[in-house]
């Protein structure tokens, strides 16, 4: 009860604002491959806009995501430490992360894409599409898709410089520039984040810092009427210290992702041809081991649009090469070809049906077919929306798993969700979703003969283990998860928005990694208020119930506060307080979390 009081106090005390309330019809979802108004969505989706990112003041995408219902974020310490996303209780590797259409999940990621170093700079919006989405994207999308879309600026050329300092000797500088017309536009951003930090591990006092450098570009335009092109690139270089094995552990990471996309419209825009090619490269040096991977992908599809139906048919390919150099030598390649189709049908005005299917051919395990059926039905002059979806998913074993056991089969899932979106009194939107999902063939390290003494060393495969020679990665566990998500958006005035969320989650499995770190209850709340043309305030609060890790982690409440002051059209000052109540809590057993922290800075536009 004390935690709930803190949330209530935070909401009453401070607030933030949304400059314009975007309705469900105004927000367009791109993650479904066929652009769809939010009001016609059948699967659950949450959207974080550029304005909301500014309001929160958070520097990293993971910090924005953890403010959503149905998501738990874990971080092994402070900024730059290993960061994992648990979407609706699934494992981190079951969520696909896209940046401008580039698949970020790599062959050397045992725990999904690590969001530790992904900053919010130059991001237009983030879409979180929940539920099995393998019918759209194939492997890695068992739990859902996080789609990050960068800015494509239009209008007069302008730029900005942002600088911020704060706790733990933190410094952040961001420079942006962008503008143009439909014929040619560009958006550029470069940033440096430097923090001395604090000890990630509780067993020492050595400070674990981060130096993060990011550059991103989004350029494009029209060649002629109906022909468009776009090119995006993001380069990341990070150096961080961490405490996995010793206080002096460190890693270096360099990542490059890029994509070129062309589209051509025909037959009065009823047909659109799309073609793209993507490249992802990752180099990481960690624990005396060098990790290198490259992925080259392509996607070609055709979209047909009609008043009663929209259809998309496409083929995508991926070629992965990887190499691990250290105490163990691993290298090889994998490739996949996927054929997919999506059909949106509007047989009657209030009903929207979506049928999706996909067949993947993988170079190691062969063919896999996934599907999804979803419906959206609008009642009472479209004021009440009933929605539901059922889908199947799979996760292909990655190269590291296969290096131990080349007979591994894909992990599989199937699940459903039903929900209702109900506006009330023109000032409140209520969303309720129930979901259930089952999993099979989980891949994890297994003590095959139950004879290994793992107490004598730190990780699987170490030569100091007793009787570990027969242990390997294997398909062995089934699991299920079910739960409920409730969100309430309240607009008591044009300058005020209140967002409330509640998530209830039940996970069950013989695989302990599927039940750890997930709170059964999560409550999140924010209050947004624009006091006048100059002042803007925000508060976010969250309560997470106790949960099991290697130890039992106690429940906690966290409160963040931020403010912005527009001194002029060109100059803005901002500040934020994180963990305003100085709560002592753990997200991961035996790892520290930030205490009461202060940050402030200014943004100059030109």
- What is the band of 382 on the pLDDT scale with cuts at 50, 70, 90? low
What is the rounded CA–CA span in Å between residue 578 and residue 564? 15
- Residue range 305-347, pLDDT digits in tens: 988 899 999 999 999 999 989 877 888 899 999 999 999 998 8
- Looking at every residue in the chain, the average pLDDT score rounds to 89
> What distance in Å separates the CA atoms of residue 298 and residue 277, rounded to the nearest whole number?
4
Interstrand relation of 45-49 and 71-75 (parallel, antiparallel or unpaired): unpaired
CB contact set of 604 (below 8 Å; sequence gap of 6+): 160, 161, 162, 570, 571
Query: What is the band of 404 on the pLDDT scale with cuts at 50, 70, 90?
Result: confident
Place of tokens 């099995």: 132
Q: Looking at the predicted structure, is the pLDDT value of residue 458 above 90? A: no
- Position 9 confidence tier, pLDDT thresholds 50, 70, 90: very low
Residue 543 has pLDDT above 80, yes or no: yes
Which residue has better confidence, 467 or 274?
A: 274
Q: What is the pLDDT of residue 251?
A: 84
Give the residue-averaged pLDDT of 279-303: 93
What value does the mean pLDDT take over residues 94-115? 90
Residue 7 has pLDDT above 90, yes or no: no
pLDDT in tens, 48-97: 999 999 999 999 999 999 999 999 999 999 999 999 999 999 999 999 99
- Domains observed in the chain: 2-605 (2.40.170.20)
Q: Residue 469: its pLDDT value, please?
A: 67
Encoding tokens for residue 430? 């209520």
pLDDT of amino acid 230: 97
76 three-state secondary structure: coil
Q: What pairs with residue 317 in β-bridges?
A: 298, 337
Average pLDDT over residues 215-227: 93
Q: Is the pLDDT of residue 41 over 60?
A: yes
pLDDT tier, 462 (very low <50, low <70, confident <90, very high otherwise): very low
Q: Minimum mean pLDDT among 130-144, 350-364, 423-437, 466-480: which range?
A: 466-480
pLDDT of 457 > 80? The answer is no
Region 561-585: mean pLDDT is 97
State yes or no: pLDDT of 20 exceeds 60: no
Distance, in Å, from the CA atom of 208 to the CA atom of 194, rounded to the nearest integer, reads: 11
250 SS3 class: strand
pLDDT at 352 over 90: yes
The DSSP secondary-structure symbol of 39 reads G
Residues 6+ apart with CB under 8 A from 428: 488, 489, 490, 491
> How far, in Å, CA of 358 to CA of 339, rounded?
6
Q: Which tokens go with 6? A: 């803190």
Contact assessment for residue 365 and residue 394, using Cβ atoms and an 8 Å cutoff: no
Segment 574-588 mean pLDDT:
97
What span, in angstroms and rounded, lies between the C-alpha atoms of 415 and 557?
Answer: 31
* Separation between Cα atoms, residue 8 and residue 498, nearest integer Å: 12
Please tell me the predicted confidence (pLDDT) of residue 564: 96
Q: Spell out where 42-169 has E strands.
A: 45-49, 71-75, 83-87, 95-99, 102-103, 123-130, 144-150, 155-166
pLDDT digits (tens, 9 = 90+) for 120-132: 999 999 999 999 9
Instruction: Over range 515-519, report the average pLDDT.
Output: 94
Question: What percentage of the chain reaches a pLDDT higher than 70?
Answer: 91
Looking at 12-16, 156-160, 293-297, 583-587, which range is the least confident one? Answer: 12-16
Predicted local distance difference test score (pLDDT) of residue 1? 40
- Is residue 579 over pLDDT 60? yes
Q: What is the pLDDT of residue 468?
A: 65
- Prediction pTM value: 0.92
Predicted pLDDT of residue 16 = 32
Query: And the tokens for 215?
Result: 């550059």
pLDDT beyond 70 at 24: no
pLDDT score of 420 more than 80: yes
What pLDDT shows up at residue 93? 93
What secondary structure, in 3-state letters, does 454-496 show?
HHHCCCCCCCCCECCCCCEEEEEEEEEEEEEEEEEEEEEECCE
Cross-strand pairs, 379 = 384
> Closest Cα to residue 52, out of 599, 584, 499?
499
User: Is residue 21 pLDDT above 50, yes or no?
Assistant: no
Percent of the chain exceeding pLDDT 90 equals: 74
Section 299-304 average pLDDT: 97
């Amino acid at each position: 009860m004390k935690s709930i009081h803190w949330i209530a106090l935070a909401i009453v005390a401070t607030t933030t604002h949304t400059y314009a309330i975007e309705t469900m019809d105004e927000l367009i979802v791109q993650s479904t491959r066929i652009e769809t108004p939010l009001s016609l969505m059948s699967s659950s989706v949450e959207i974080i806009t550029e304005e909301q990112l500014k309001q929160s003041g958070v520097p990293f995408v993971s910090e924005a995501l953890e403010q959503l219902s149905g998501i738990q974020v874990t971080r092994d310490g402070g900024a730059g430490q290993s960061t994992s996303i648990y979407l609706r209780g699934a494992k981190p590797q079951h969520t696909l992360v896209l940046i401008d259409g580039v698949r970020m999940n790599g062959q050397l990621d045992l725990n999904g894409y690590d969001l530790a170093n992904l900053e919010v700079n130059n991001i237009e919006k983030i879409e979180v599409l929940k539920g099995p989405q393998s019918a759209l994207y194939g492997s890695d999308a068992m739990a859902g898709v996080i789609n990050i879309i960068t800015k494509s600026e239009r209008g007069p050329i302008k730029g900005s410089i942002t600088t911020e300092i704060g706790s733990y000797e933190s410094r952040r500088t961001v420079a942006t520039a962008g503008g143009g017309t439909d014929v040619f536009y560009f958006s550029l951003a470069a940033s440096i984040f430097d923090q001395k930090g604090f000890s990630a591990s509780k067993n020492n006092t050595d400070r674990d810092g981060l130096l993060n450098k990011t550059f991103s570009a989004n350029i494009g335009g029209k060649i002629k009427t109906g022909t468009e092109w776009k090119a995006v690139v993001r380069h990341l270089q990070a150096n961080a210290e961490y405490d996995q094995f010793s206080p002096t552990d460190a890693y270096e990471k360099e990542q490059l992702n890029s994509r070129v996309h062309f589209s051509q419209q025909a037959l009065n825009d009823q047909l659109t041809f799309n073609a793209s090619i993507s490249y992802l490269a990752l180099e990481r040096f960690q624990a005396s081991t060098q990790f290198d991977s490259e992925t080259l992908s392509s996607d070609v599809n055709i979209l047909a649009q009609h008043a009663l139906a929209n259809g998309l048919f496409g083929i995508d390919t991926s070629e992965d090469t990887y190499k691990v150099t250290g105490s163990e030598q691993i290298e090889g390649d994998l490739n996949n070809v996927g054929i997919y189709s999506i059909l949106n049908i509007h047989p009657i005005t209030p009903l929207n049906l979506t049928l999706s299917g996909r067949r993947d051919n993988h170079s190691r395990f062969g063919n896999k077919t996934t599907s999804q059926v979803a419906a959206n039905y609008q009642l009472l002059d479209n004021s009440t929306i009933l929605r539901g979806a059922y889908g199947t998913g799979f996760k292909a074993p990655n190269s590291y798993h296969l290096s131990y056991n080349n007979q591994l089969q894909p992990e599989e899932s199937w699940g459903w969700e039903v929900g209702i979106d109900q506006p009330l009194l023109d000032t409140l939107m209520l969303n309720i979703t129930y979901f259930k999902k089952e999993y099979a063939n989980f891949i994890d390290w297994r003590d095959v003969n139950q004879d290994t003494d793992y107490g004598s060393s730190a990780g699987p495969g170490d030569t100091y283990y007793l009787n570990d020679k027969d242990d390997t990665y294997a398909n062995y566990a089934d699991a299920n998860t079910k739960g409920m998500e409730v969100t309430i958006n309240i607009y008591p005035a044009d300058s005020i928005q209140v967002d409330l969320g509640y998530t209830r989650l039940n996970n069950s499995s013989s695989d302990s990694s599927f039940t750890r770190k997930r709170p059964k209850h999560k409550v999140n709340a924010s209050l947004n208020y624009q006091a006048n043309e100059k002042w803007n305030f925000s508060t976010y609060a969250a309560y997470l119930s106790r949960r099991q890790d290697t130890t039992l982690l106690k429940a906690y409440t966290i409160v963040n506060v931020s403010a912005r002051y527009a001194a002029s059209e060109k100059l803005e000052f901002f500040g934020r307080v994180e963990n305003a109540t100085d709560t002592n809590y753990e997200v991961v057993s035996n790892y520290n979390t930030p205490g009461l922290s202060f940050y402030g800075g200014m943004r100059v536009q030109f």
